[in-house]
Structure 1
């Protein structure tokens, strides 16, 4: 598939993912408000179990049939490299986690969540850099594959920055909705968690529009490059936090503010998300060499995890008792996102220059990353 069709396809795929993201907060919010959070989390676990069963019973046979019709090898669910120790490693990891959980529940050990998040953030950041260095220096990749790896690293770093801001949504934004937003609607108090569904609703509405737009621009050879789309994403996110900066100033001055401040912010963040997340998935699947495609996808989601951890650390400084620092917090996010966009813009030409120096094996479609 062409770049534009690939991006369009991943936008539709991303819309499907968010169908569940739209429904889940609505159910969880009602159950948590009328009963308790245990039931809310239980429904989430049940939903994941149902999804797993649907995939195994319905999706797997369909994928096998698809491969048969295309006369392709049925290797989509087989590892590229066999590792006989993988089950032992996975079991040891899960057992270690279970032991830590049990010891924590019985107060044998005490865990400071902030310290854990801080160490994880540093550890994951160092781990990502070290692993990319390993791929470049010790894996004996072809020169053109090394250039692809460099591009993947740049996009992953931009993604981590985006998510570190975007994932203020379930922390800072939720607290803002809870304590500083007028949630009454014709006598009904909107559960705070319902604001989590707004982002997914916007994705469901606008993902088809994004898919159509990328395909349409691709036909006329005007489809923006991947880095350009990431720059757009960071700038839209910066716009969203600029809106929240104004909203927090109004909250300081006059109490509860309209929910449309949050809705407008979430709209801008969603547009940014559609320019980054499905595009990033599309890019990783295309750039990653076959032998390490699974590892590159894992690194991509590790970058997302890094952004979530940073967002949690930032959100931990927000409290209902002190709103005065929120405008500065949001403006720092704006500044970080704008600086990230500028850095990406400055890196466009060097990356294209690197790609032009690659061997003749480089695919032409990579020349305008």
Structure 2
């Protein structure tokens, strides 16, 4: 297949189209979920935040299991197919379920995501030989497909809700993922396994009920997430100390950067929680006679990622040609600082609020622009950092650490979002704006301070690597000094 990025395997188009459909469905549901819980089920803001945070946290657990099951029993294509069917069923139930079945709908989506997400990326990787120069370009196309899938719901969700109702927004998600899954089925029928092992089917049913109960009882769910994540991370940390000094220090740097990333992702996830409610009730969204739906504001992040991503990539290449390309820890630090600035802009906006308490919509756009830049500094290098700093036999374990840390970040995001609520439960801007300004200010301070702490740590990282290298070899420039830690 010939593309702007060069010649690629024919199946790349099919896989990317499937991913666009899956991301469309996911972000259609994600973008409206908190508003749906508050406006339809009449959840309090705090209850909606907690449910959303627990749901998104479990989304980072199941892919670890789904990837293993694909390798051991199902295969990549069968896992994608079954995952797509489960996702479609989950969104369909979300469209027509009452509050009792609401949690089962979310559980189905979590399980379906576990089968689908890790294996769609693996399917891209299998299109290329190990040293194929087109691999990176292929994953770039795949990343663009993800952003397109995330951008489209922001354009249509508000219109669908206003014209056809909340339930039909979820129904559109169910239909789209079902259509791309069926297309994937007919494109891959010869290699699919049609039957799930009975024990696996039983495990899915047990997991469905367990997850539904946990999401409904978020306090217990949070304890489970912290417990399992803590055990897994402790095991990985203990295992890292069994390696020689050089590898051990590299792994410790990976742990430190992963720990700092928790704050970044906890703030990043406010887009689906506190920032959604802030936009709904505290932002002047009128343009003439038209009121901009809150869901339209979700267009900013994928738009800025798509437009700024290539520019950032070119900037890294240009800086690298002058040996000025920032290290991975430096990029983490700059990304965290940008996230802090994204929140720092909001208290300033509140100070400019109108007499009725509303702020202008462009302040939210500026905040999302800064947050998206921060994402571009961290997200593309996060998993590659894990691979770079880990010995080969620890790659899978450290990937698990990254995903478990992200799950913790989502739980933390729920606590942060609840911090933005006030005891009265009011959403009137004249009542809530001062509290929002205070919380956003603190979040900005935490993020900016964390960014500067990371910058201070960079010489220590270099010293750790240098010390461990000198223990086993004469002093020399280590690759991490050149490309990752200077």
Q: Which SS does the other structure have where 1:333 is aligned? A: helix
What residue number does 1:326 align with? 436
TM-score, with length taken from structure 1: 0.78
Distance (whole Å) between structure 1 residues aligned to residue 261 and residue 187 of structure 2: 32
Q: Residue 453 of structure 2 is aligned with which of 316, 340, 343?
A: 343
- Describe the shift of the 1:46–1:156 C-alpha distance in structure 2 as closer, same or farther (beyond 3 A): farther
What residue number does 1:366 align with? 480
1:151 Cα deviation from its structure 2 partner = 1.7
Distance (whole Å) between structure 1 residues aligned to residue 462 and residue 198 of structure 2: 43
Structure 1 residue 34 and structure 2 residue 163: aligned?
A: yes
What residue number does 1:288 align with? 390
Provide structure 1 residue ranges, at least 5 long, that are not aligned to the other structure.
1-5, 62-86
TM-score, with length taken from structure 2: 0.60
What residue number does 2:321 align with? 219
What residue number does 2:418 align with? 316
What residue number does 1:70 align with? none
What residue number does 1:122 align with? 226
Q: For residues 1-369 of structure 1, what are the structure 2 equivalents within 5 Å?
A: 14-48=143-177, 94-100=204-210, 111-113=216-218, 115-116=219-220, 118-120=222-224, 122-123=226-227, 126-127=230-231, 129-137=233-241, 140-251=242-353, 254-319=356-421, 320-321=427-428, 322-323=431-432, 324-356=434-466, 357-358=468-469, 359-360=472-473, 364-367=478-481, 368-369=484-485
- Describe the shift of the 1:56–1:223 C-alpha distance in structure 2 as closer, same or farther (beyond 3 A): farther
1:306 Cα deviation from its structure 2 partner = 1.8
Distance (whole Å) between structure 1 residues aligned to residue 184 and residue 473 of structure 2: 40
Deviations 1:239-288 (A, max 9, x none): 11111112234448542221001000000101111001112132123223
Deviations 1:181-212 (A, max 9, x none): 11122322211111111111110100010111
Distance (whole Å) between structure 2 residues aligned to residue 148 and residue 54 of structure 1: 44
Supply the RMSD in Å over aligned alpha carbons: 3.5
Deviations 1:295-342 (A, max 9, x none): 322322222222222112221243415513111111110121122112
1:174 Cα deviation from its structure 2 partner = 0.8
Distance (whole Å) between structure 2 residues aligned to residue 182 and residue 158 of structure 1: 34
Provide structure 2 residue ranges, at least 5 long, that are not aligned to the other structure.
1-134, 191-196, 422-426
1:116 Cα deviation from its structure 2 partner = 4.0
Distance (whole Å) between structure 1 residues aligned to residue 393 and residue 181 of structure 2: 27
Q: Which SS does the other structure have where 1:294 is aligned? A: helix
Deviations 1:192-241 (A, max 9, x none): 11111111111010001011111111122110001111111111111111
Q: How many pairs are equivalent?
A: 333
- Describe the shift of the 1:118–1:250 C-alpha distance in structure 2 as closer, same or farther (beyond 3 A): farther
Distance (whole Å) between structure 2 residues aligned to residue 255 and residue 363 of structure 1: 57
